[in-house]
């Protein structure tokens, strides 16, 4: 199996998005790494079948989400409620950086606590996909996606302002 420049380029370009999708489905770092490897393997296999008839990013997000639901089904429990990352306790370079990192961690923790039916449309929305793309990726209709996003936004707002999640599983 030789080097595949397409695969390398695609992964290099979209790895941050893939890692964020993985992070929203798995809190444990070791299992997160395994899941990302699973997704990269699935992309390796699926990439030759990509016909260029849609946005590559949406194609990759779909493969990643397909893998993530299988991962969640295999896991005995849902991802553990995220704790603030240890790194937060260590000094960040500056107050602004620490503040941003803290907001990121809080957001990630709130997203992970959403039920899967809300979490997936939320993650895709945060990645910049519109309801039509999200509907295609998840196999829902656009109206359902919009309704779920409205509920998810309320749940996230409540979680981020310290009220906890109303939509807990």
Partner 1 sequence: MSVNDDPQWRDLAQDWTAPRDDDDAEAPSLAEVRRRARLQTAVFGAELTVCAAAAAVLAWRAVHGAAWLPTLTGAAFTAFALLAAIWAWRTRDAGSADSVRDALRIAIAQTRTWLRWIVAGYAICAGALLHLAVMLGDAAPPAPPIAAAAAAFVLATLIALAAAQRRQRRRLSNLRALQADLYEAGEADR
Footprint on residues 75-104 left by partner 1 (CB under 8 A): 75-76, 85, 87, 100-101, 103-104
Please pick, from the candidates 28, 83, 166, 169, the single residue that binds partner 1 as defined by CB under 8 A: 169
Question: How far, in Å, CA of 19 to CA of 31, rounded?
Answer: 12
Q: How far is the CB of 128 from partner 1 (least distance, A)?
A: 6
Q: List the one residue out of 123, 105, 102 whose CA is nearest residue 114.
A: 123
Q: Which of 27, 57, 82, 127 binds partner 1 (CB under 8 A)?
A: 127
Q: Does residue 128 bind partner 1 (CB under 8 A)?
A: yes
Residue 113 binds partner 1, judged by CB under 8 A: no
Cα angle 10-17-168, degrees, rounded to a multiple of 5:
150
**What is the spatial distance between Cα 136 and Cα 65, in angstroms, rounded to a whole number?**
12
What distance in Å separates the CA atoms of residue 124 and residue 152, rounded to the nearest whole number? 12
Q: How far is the CB of 166 from partner 1 (least distance, A)?
A: 15
40 is a site residue for partner 1 (CB under 8 A): yes
- Site for partner 1 (CB under 8 A): which residue of 6, 55, 56, 141? 141
Chain contacts with partner 1 (rule: CB under 8 A): 1, 7-8, 11, 15-16, 19-20, 29, 32-33, 36-37, 39-46, 49, 62-63, 65-67, 69-70, 72-76, 85, 87, 100-101, 103-104, 107, 115-117, 120, 125-131, 136-141, 143-144, 146-149, 153, 156-157, 169
């Amino acid at each position: 199996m030789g080097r595949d420049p397409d695969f390398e380029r695609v992964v290099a370009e979209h790895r941050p998005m893939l890692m964020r999708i993985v992070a929203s489905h798995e809190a444990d770092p070791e299992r997160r790494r395994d899941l990302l490897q699973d997704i990269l393997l699935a992309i390796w296999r699926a990439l030759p079948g990509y016909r260029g008839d849609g946005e590559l990013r949406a194609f990759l997000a779909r493969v990643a989400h397909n893998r993530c639901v299988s991962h969640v089904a295999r896991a005995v429990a849902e991802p553990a409620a995220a704790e603030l990352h240890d790194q937060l306790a260590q000094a960040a370079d500056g107050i602004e950086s620490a503040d941003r990192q803290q907001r990121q961690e809080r957001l990630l923790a709130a997203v992970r606590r959403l039920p899967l039916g809300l979490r997936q449309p939320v993650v895709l929305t945060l990645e910049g996909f519109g309801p039509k793309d999200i509907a295609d990726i998840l196999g829902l209709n656009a109206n359902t996606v919009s309704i779920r996003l409205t509920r998810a936004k309320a749940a996230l707002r409540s979680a981020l302002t310290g009220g906890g999640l109303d939509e807990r599983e």
